[in-house]
């Protein structure tokens, strides 16, 4: 019996990191497309606008059903939902590799979108239940880095893999990774993880444990979530961030290919832009841990993204490629403060413990809507003006709206603190 307990205890120590790495594997499915866009565009004769829709099509599921999947994950079981999502991602990626048309590829991208949601929506709720309260902010900051981590890995490896083995083997690779991660998650996260870990954390802090089983109906959880202002604010704010980040970073390989970069140089430059976003995510957790107000991190992040996009795309920097690249790094690194902060706020501003997955689902729906609309809109703008020089205007508008929402979040937090 003691041996079983020690094995379960060791597994519980690794469980938060298994959850985070599951998010990274799910993000690989989204990130695998940008480095393949140049070759896919040639093979399938895609226009720039069609490429933008292909880039954003995986968000169709999230834009329409993230809230519903968040609700169902609470009832279906959080760990079970994540494993199901990883298996579905693998199936969709394998089937996508067999597609012979852009239509078939888009269909399986939509299915990948459903699998992605089943993986990423339950994770913050599981982290909240497992992690001690004083470590939750930092680990949620780490969780917020799952998307840039997956994107950076694919941008780095794609230009090296794709010329040698082609895009179909690229799709098969991520199918295998998804299935392998499903097995690891099932083994590492104990069966009693969701039911006991929150009570363990509560007992360690001498507070009343929160029951894992909740008798409320999904209609009540939905009503509680959508009638509270906090979930709406973080949802809209995430949409303002995610749409512009995916639009800029998603087209980066295509932009740099147009100026003659290829192979390892292209991969390294684009991957580094995505990778520095992880630094911002992790820093958000550390700064929140030290008591920095979340709204300050949001406002600073949006301001830095606005300045970075201006330096990266304005016409006066066309002869200064180093300054343009510095602008990209500023855009991505400081922008990384935003998602890590919003994941913390989604947990903080949820109406009740039972609403965490639903709140995160609603936030993911806003994020997906931004990612669905952002790339095609930026592509249409670039097509209309004959280049990327006005991209900073589109991102600047998103940043201005994000700044306003950040101030509203600050007011909501102040009211919550006063009520407590």
Compute how many other C-beta atoms are within 10 angstroms of the C-beta atom of residue 72.
18
Token pair for 177 = 């990774």
What pLDDT sits at residue 249? Answer: 81
CA–CA distance, 215 with 78 (Å, rounded to integer): 16
Domain ranges of the chain: 8-190+217-419
pLDDT of residue 246: 81
Which residue is associated with the tokens 């590829």? Answer: 105
Asked if 238 and 367 count as a contact pair (C-beta separation under 8 A), the reply is yes
From CA 213, how far away is CA 211, in angstroms rounded? 6
| Nearest CA among 388, 337, 4, 23 for reference residue 177 | 23
- Report helix, strand or coil for 72: helix
Rounded to two decimals, the pTM is 0.72
> Cβ distance 254 to 266 under 8 Å?
no
What is residue 194's predicted lDDT score, i.e. its pLDDT?
A: 41
Q: Give the residues of the chain that fall short of pLDDT 50.
A: 1-11, 192-213
CA dist 229 and 411 (Å) reads 11
* 8 Å CB contact between 65 and 117: yes
- Cβ neighbourhood burial of 239 (10 Å; 0-12, 13-18, 19+): buried
Q: What whole-number distance in Å separates Cα of residue 356 and Cα of residue 336?
A: 22
96 CB contacts (<8 Å, ≥6 apart)? Answer: 104, 105, 108, 109, 112, 171
SS3 state of residue 312? helix
Q: Quote the CA–CA distance of 281 and 321 in Å, as a whole number.
A: 26
Running DSSP on this structure, what letter comes out for residue 217? -
| Residue where the block lists tokens 């709204």 | 295
Residues whose CB falls within 8 Å of the CB of residue 67, separated by 6 or more in sequence, listed in order: 222, 225, 358, 361, 362, 365
18 token code pair: 């298994």
pLDDT at 218: 73
Which residue, 303, 304, 332, 309, is CA-closest to 391? 309
| 355, two tokens | 């609403």
Cα distances (Å, whole numbers) of residue 203 to 130, 209, 210, 212: 12, 7, 10, 14
67-113 pLDDT, tens digit each: 788 777 766 788 899 999 999 999 999 998 888 777 888 889 889 98
- Report the distance separating Cα 355 and Cα 212, nearest Å: 12
Residue 207 gets the label, from left (phi > 0), alpha (psi -120 to 50) or beta, of beta
Residues 355, 230: Cα–Cα separation, whole Å: 12
What are the Cα distances from residue 13, in Å, to 7, 9, 39? 10, 6, 42
Topology annotation, domain 8-190+217-419: Growth Hormone; Chain: A; (1.20.1250)
């Amino acid at each position: 019996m003691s041996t079983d307990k020690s094995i379960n205890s060791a597994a519980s120590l690794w469980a938060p990191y298994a959850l985070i790495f599951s998010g990274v594997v799910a993000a690989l499915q989204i990130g695998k497309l940008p480095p393949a866009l140049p070759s896919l565009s040639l093979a399938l004769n895609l226009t720039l606008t069609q490429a933008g829709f292909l880039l954003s099509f995986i968000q169709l599921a999230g834009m329409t059903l993230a809230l519903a999947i968040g609700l169902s994950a609470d009832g279906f079981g959080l760990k079970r939902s994540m494993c199901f999502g990883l298996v579905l991602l693998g199936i969709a990626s394998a089937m996508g590799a067999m597609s012979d048309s852009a239509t078939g590829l888009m269909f399986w991208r939509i299915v990948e979108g459903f699998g992605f949601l089943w993986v990423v929506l339950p994770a913050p709720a599981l982290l909240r239940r497992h992690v001690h309260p004083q470590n939750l902010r930092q680990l949620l900051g780490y969780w917020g880095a799952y998307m840039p981590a997956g994107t950076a890995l694919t941008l780095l490896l794609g230009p090296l893999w794709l010329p040698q083995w082609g895009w179909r083997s690229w799709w098969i690779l991520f199918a295998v990774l998804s299935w392998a991660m499903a097995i690891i998650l099932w083994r590492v996260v104990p069966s009693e993880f969701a039911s006991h870990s929150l009570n363990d954390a509560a007992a360690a802090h001498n507070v009343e444990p929160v029951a894992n089983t909740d008798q409320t109906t999904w209609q009540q959880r939905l009503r509680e979530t959508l009638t509270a202002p906090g979930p709406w604010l973080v949802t809209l704010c995430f949409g303002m961030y995610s749409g512009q980040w995916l639009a800029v970073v998603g087209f980066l390989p295509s932009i740099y290919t147009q100026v003659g970069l290829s192979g390892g140089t292209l991969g390294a430059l684009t991957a580094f832009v995505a990778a520095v976003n992880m630094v911002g995510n992790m820093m958000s957790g550390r700064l929140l841990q030290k008591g920095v107000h979340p709204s300050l991190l949001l406002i600073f992040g949006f301001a830095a993204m606005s300045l970075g996009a201006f330096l990266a795309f304005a016409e006066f920097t066309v002869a200064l490629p180093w300054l343009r690249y510095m602008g990209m790094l500023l855009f991505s690194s400081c922008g990384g403060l935003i998602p890590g902060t919003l994941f913390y706020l989604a947990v903080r501003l949820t109406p009740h413990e039972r609403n965490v997955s639903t709140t995160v689902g609603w936030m993911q729906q806003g994020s997906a809507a931004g990612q669905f609309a952002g790339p095609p809109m930026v592509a249409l703008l670039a097509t209309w003006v004959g280049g990327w020089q006005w991209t900073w205007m589109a991102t600047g508008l998103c940043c201005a709206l994000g700044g306003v929402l950040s101030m509203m979040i600050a007011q909501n937090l102040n009211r919550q603190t006063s009520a407590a």
